[in-house]
Chain A
Amino acid sequence: MRLLAALFVVLFANAAWADCPLDLGRGTGWVIFSDHYMIAFRPEPMQMEVGQPFSLLFNVCTKSNSPAELLAVDAQMPEHRHGMNYRPTIVAGTDGRYRVDGLVFHMPGRWELSIDVRAGEESERLTHDFILK
């Protein structure tokens, strides 16, 4: 439902992103965007648990429809000023999607996911907050 609502808002605001495939297979997830990028992602498994490894599946699109690359994914707990104890790895799929393995949120609380993307010479960091209880 969140995905559909986000999709509606995004498409309404910018028809140039209409071709960006946001559904990553389960009909749910998150969509975040900036002036240049739109990123859809979802976790696998769908339920993220404290201390349990999980992966994120990404689709990265640009406003200009130019090819985009997922450079890095990391996460921090801003209130605690520490990151994860694990370094995720990125695997590019043949369908233009990315799979990021090896994430572990080892404490409850607010985690800020940082997503570094690039299209051509232009790179940008987008963020998204998770509250893990």
Chain B
Amino acid sequence: MAQELLDWSADEVRAIGRHGPWPPSPVRDPSNRVSGTPAGIVLGEHLFNDPRVSANGRMSCATCHQAGRDWSDGRAKGFGTVELDRRTPSLWNVGHAHWFGWDGAGDSLWAQAIRPILDPREMGGSAARVGRLVRNDKLLACGYERAFGTRAGDDDERLLVDSAKALAAFQATLVSPRTRFDAFRDALVTGDRAAAARYPLPEQRGLRLFIGVGNCDTCHFGPRFTNGEFGDIGIAFFVRPGEVDSGRLGGLARLASSPFNLLGRYNDDASGASAQRTRHVQRLHANFGEFRVPSLRQVGRAAAYMHDGSLATLEEVVGHYSGVDPDRLHSDGTPLVRPLGLSPQERTDLVAFLRSLDVDPPPRPPPPPLCP
């Protein structure tokens, strides 16, 4: 059925065009020598699903990052050995990010993969455990040798880092499929009005709000709908009475003290270019209460919302931005986030647009054998 096409201005078409094309070209992480390599990816997928990495032998990466739940867990807050303070982020398109974790304490996907392995609240593993596993398990040892070109040695920390690099190589392959929005975006940019008009009107109106009065695309920028940086959106920062989650402020402190950051000896990029953000990032008072701007692709499938899972539905998220209390923002300047005062119809339209960023991913085949 033919539908209408809003009268999009040239500036609006340009703004919409910035959210594509999709999918992006594959990326290779220069800090990770097995990034993009078939053997590294296969090893990573096997390690991702292996519960022996954890201290109790029951938890793998896939326990919380489930393929059938858009690489998250469907819970408001993550759960390892105890309930955590933050939501489990989806892994969709994570290979295109440059800061990792809600607080950005990781500056590479492989460094980020190490954190939950060692965290006693999550997998509670150790370099020694991972080292033993990769050395002693016949298939994993074979997979390691294929991926890295050498046999797994005696250096446990090195094996932990290499395992994390294989995990990162696998996770970087998780790219969400094209959506209704992408078809609309491409049609609009190429001037195919008939194809563009197939995008329902509520979604078009919601998109106009998103790039217009909502100003959402200032932070939810680009093809992944995130600028990859951090913002304070007025979510309560007390996690328990007397205890706060300082967000980016604490994340930058952890980044600086991590032996696995890109300024350290495990960065495979001899040029140093991959460490540019880490070298120059500055820790500011304004970082308190800031959390990473999440991608919005597959957002409707990733409930709950916000870094702490405090909002259960997309409708609540839009309601939050519509009526956010500026006094709860920690910013000392003009806040980017301000109450939008959306009408019920506008809220419905904005949610309709956000849901047009969702798509059912195809069934995932089992991982190929490590060493057939």
Contact = CB atoms under 8 A, between A and B. Distances in A.
Contact of B281 (A50, A82, A86, A89): A86
Contacts of B331: 82
B280 A87 contact: yes
Given A102-B276, A133-B14, A86 B282 contact: yes
B277 A86 contact: yes
B279 interface: yes
A81 B329 CA distance: 14
B222 A102 contact: no
A107 interface: yes
Given A79-B334, A108-B221, A51 B228 contact: yes
Nearest to B286: A82
Interface residues of A, number: 21
Contacts of A107: 218-219, 221, 227, 229
Given A79-B334, A102-B276, 19 more contacts: A50-B227, A51-B229, A53-B277, A81-B333, A81-B334, A82-B333, A84-B282, A85-B281, A85-B284, A86-B277, A86-B280, A86-B281, A87-B281, A89-B280, A107-B221, A107-B227, A133-B14, A133-B15, A133-B18
Nearest to B217: A108
Contacts of A102: 276, 279-280
B230 interface: yes
Interface in A85-117: 85-89, 101-102, 104, 106-109
A101 to B, nearest CB: 7
Interface of A: 50-51, 53, 79-82, 84-89, 101-102, 104, 106-109, 133
Interface string B199-221: 00000000000000000011101
B218 A108 contact: yes
Interface of B: 14-15, 18, 98, 217-219, 221-222, 227-230, 276-277, 279-282, 284, 286, 331, 333-334, 336
A91 to B, nearest CB: 12
7 contacts: A80-B333, A85-B281, A85-B282, A89-B279, A101-B280, A104-B280, A107-B221
B276 A85 contact: no
Contact of A88 (B219, B280, B286, B334): B280
A87 B228 contact: no
Contacts of B279: 89, 102
Given A85-B229, A107-B227, A109-B218, A80 B281 contact: no
A50 B217 CA distance: 12
Contacts of B15: 133
A85 B280 CA distance: 8
A108 B277 CA distance: 18
A80 B336 contact: yes
A110 B336 CA distance: 14
Contacts of A51: 98, 221-222, 227-229
A108 to B, nearest CB: 6
B29 to A, nearest CB: 15
A89 to B, nearest CB: 7
B291 to A, nearest CB: 13
A87 B276 contact: no
A86 B222 CA distance: 20
A126 to B, nearest CB: 22
Contacts of A81: 333-334
Contacts of A89: 279-280
A107 B218 CA distance: 6
